[in-house]
């Protein structure tokens, strides 16, 4: 077997295919239009640099209050496609609820090694926390979320030694929402993604949240869609068990009727994810 009960690449590819009959160009065009509309109705600081490379940028969607909480969002794309500009629409509901949102861009594989994506995700949160005054936010109220590959990066933030490596408080992240995250990287070296990801055995061990200790005492919510393949739900439940075994309080939700992409609609004003993130800041 290549991974668990999967004996062939075709079987792995089938289970980890998020499209399942959807048309990528239609999905992307919808996101782009919604994000352009969000930039038209929100006050936005575009391409704020959080690191030295051109990829290390974030768009910050500002809530009205100068001391608003900050939410940091990481986009999906299986670590090898898309960027921050397509995902501005996730900010609209949160800004309406009084939360500023940083939509993070990061470099993509194979332009950089897989570990560099993780480093940049950590750098983005560290920079945002240290530069709250510049962003006009209260970083004592900071939360994160991510979708798909971004869900993996959000989970890696929970495995970060913030105090030992960055000199930052371990408890600085108040809540983490991981949507259709990939927490066990073992299937991907056997998948269609490997020519782009170029994962090594060490990468799988070092960057699979399922194998790492949780170092952040945050509220955690893990979500998958009922219309996704069974592997997305299985990974969600396996990671919940991993975190709960370490004493973490973890919520899980399998949302019936939602596929890998419709899940993002819950960031809309008054949506399930917008409400969940508001709750992170009220605890």
User: Taking the domains of the chain in order of start, what are their residue ranges?
Assistant: 9-16+24-280
pLDDT at residue 160 tops 60: yes
Q: Going by DSSP bridges, is the β-strand pair 57-62/100-104 parallel, antiparallel, or unpaired?
A: antiparallel
Per-residue model confidence (pLDDT) at position 109: 98
Mean pLDDT of 241-270: 97
Read off the pLDDT band of 283 (50, 70, 90). Answer: low
Within 137-193, residue ranges assigned H as helices are 149-158
The fold of the 9-16+24-280 domain, in CATH, is Rossmann fold (3.40.50)
Read off the pLDDT band of 22 (50, 70, 90). Answer: confident
Other residues' Cβ atoms within 10 Å of the Cβ of residue 115: 14
pTM higher than the cut 0.85: yes
Are the beta carbons of 184 and 208 closer than 8 angstroms? yes
What tokens does 189 get?
A: 């070296």
Per-residue model confidence (pLDDT) at position 21: 74
Q: Which of 15-19, 58-62, 111-115 has the lowest mean pLDDT?
A: 15-19
Q: Report the percentage of the chain scoring pLDDT > 70.
A: 100
Per-residue model confidence (pLDDT) at position 152: 98
What tokens does 114 get?
A: 């897989």
- End-to-end CA distance of the chain: give it in Å, rounded: 45
**Tens digit of each residue's pLDDT (9 = 90 or more) over 173-226:** 999 999 999 999 999 999 999 999 999 999 999 999 999 999 999 999 999 999
Q: Element (H or E) spanning 234, and its range? A: helix 230-244
pLDDT at residue 20 tops 80: no
């Amino acid at each position: 077997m290549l991974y668990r009960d999967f004996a062939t690449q075709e079987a792995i590819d089938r289970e980890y295919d998020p499209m399942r009959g959807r048309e990528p160009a239609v999905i992307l065009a919808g996101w782009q239009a919604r994000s352009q509309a969000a930039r038209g109705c929100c006050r936005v600081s575009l391409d704020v640099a959080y690191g030295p490379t051109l990829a290390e940028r974030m768009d910050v969607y500002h809530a009205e209050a100068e001391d608003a909480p900050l939410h940091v969002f990481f986009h999906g794309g299986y670590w090898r496609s898309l960027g921050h500009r397509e995902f501005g629409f996730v900010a609209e509901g949160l800004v309406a609820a009084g939360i500023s949102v940083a939509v993070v861009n990061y470099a993509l594989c194979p332009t950089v090694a897989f570990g560099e994506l993780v480093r940049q995700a950590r750098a983005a949160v560290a920079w945002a926390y240290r530069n709250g005054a510049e962003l006009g936010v209260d970083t004592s109220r900071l939360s994160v979320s991510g979708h798909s590959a971004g869900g993996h990066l959000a989970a890696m933030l929970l495995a970060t030694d913030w105090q030992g490596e960055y000199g930052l408080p371990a408890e600085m992240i108040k809540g983490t929402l991981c949507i259709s995250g990939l927490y066990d990287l073992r299937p991907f070296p056997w998948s269609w993604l490997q020519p782009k990801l170029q994962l090594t055995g060490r990468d799988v061990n070092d960057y699979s949240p399922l194998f790492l200790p949780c170092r952040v005492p945050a509220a955690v919510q893990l979500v998958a869609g009922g219309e996704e393949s069974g592997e997305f739900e299985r990974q969600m439940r396996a990671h919940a068990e991993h975190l709960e075994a370490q004493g973490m309080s973890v919520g899980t939700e399998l949302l019936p009727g939602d596929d890998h992409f419709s899940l993002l609609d819950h960031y809309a004003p008054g949506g399930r994810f917008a409400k969940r993130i508001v709750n992170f800041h009220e605890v």
